[in-house]
Amino acid sequence: MRRVLVTGATGFVGQVLCAELAKAGYTVRAALRTERSLPAGMHEKSVVGEIDGKTRWDAALEDVDSIIHAAARTHVLRKSRNDAELYVRTNVLGTERLATAAVSAGVRRFIYVSTIKVNGEESAGPPYRPEDEPRPADDYGRSKLQGERILTRVSAAGRMKYAIVRPPLVYGPGVRANFLRLMSWVDHERPLPFGAVHNRRSLVSVWNLSDVLVRLLAPEADSGKIWLVSDGEDLSTPELIHRLAGALHRRARLVPVPPAVLRLCGLLTGTSAQVARLCGSLVLDGSETRKQLGWMPPVGMDEALRRTAHWYQEGRA
């Protein structure tokens, strides 16, 4: 039996992941929040509603061999004092409910898509490694760490094999937030004040992340491990802007403003978090993933950026 239940199947990661799973010969069942038609690569669907501590998973898990849990609350639209509770509802209680139901249903393997934010927001020293002590700095990162720990406990008690994947920023068609904003700035050839930034950041394309997730479903893949995955190139913000400009066929316009000035401006304008991501470093060490899985990123960064730029420009046409 090779039926895989995918949560977050209609998200920008999930759609590429489901297509890759179908290509690899798996029967893909999408767990959907609401009734809708299935995108390419998905064979079956099960409407489960909101993912939280009360979700009913019985029908969705019938005859399922493996789960890839890619759904998560990644941001809160309107900031309030209840933000932490919202992250916990989906990322902690929702994961616990699904993992417990999976054990009861006899699911063989559970792949949990976490985030490098579990390790921290900035890697001031050496690149993050799987064995490093977690130091999440925000409610989202803390909720994903709790989800990891709950999965570890539930899987061990139920003898279900599992894997935890911590990607950095994921990009590809459908990307939103800061990456999309940066693409828009570059596309409009705006002068960008990052010419004096000398940081390093790991990225992973949706195609490379999906390839690792599919490989972790193999029976021989180790259980109980944390896997870090990236494209294998760590770029500074100016380098990323130049690479995006090339993919978009635009001119990169960089102004050398000192990072200290940028951080001060972020503090004054309430955009400190965004400025920190553009000026700070966040690098992970994915060498163990490549070594143990015998894996190399199937899509190079320039090609992945080209595909992402094509999607962006198609949407503007």
| Residue pair 289/127 in contact by the 8 Å Cβ criterion | no
Cα separation, 90 vs 312, in Å, equals 30
Nearest to 79 by CA among 119, 147, 141, 139: 139
Instruction: Provide the 3-class DSSP secondary structure of residue 183.
Output: helix
Instruction: Give the separation between CA 284 and CA 277, rounded to whole angstroms.
Output: 15
Torsion sign (Cα): 21, 25, 26, 27? positive
Taking every pair of Cα atoms in the chain, the longest distance, rounded to a whole number of angstroms, is: 58
Q: Which segments of 48-131 are extended strands (E)? A: 66-69, 109-113
- Which two tokens mark 238? 């100016």
Q: Out of 26, 87, 128, 140, which one is annotated catalytic? A: 140
How many Å apart are CA 217 and CA 67, to the nearest integer?
9
Roughly what angle, to the nearest 10 degrees, separates helices 237-248 and 301-316?
60
Whether 140 is catalytic: yes
Helix (H) or strand (E) holding 303: helix 301-316
Q: Which residues are catalytic?
A: 140
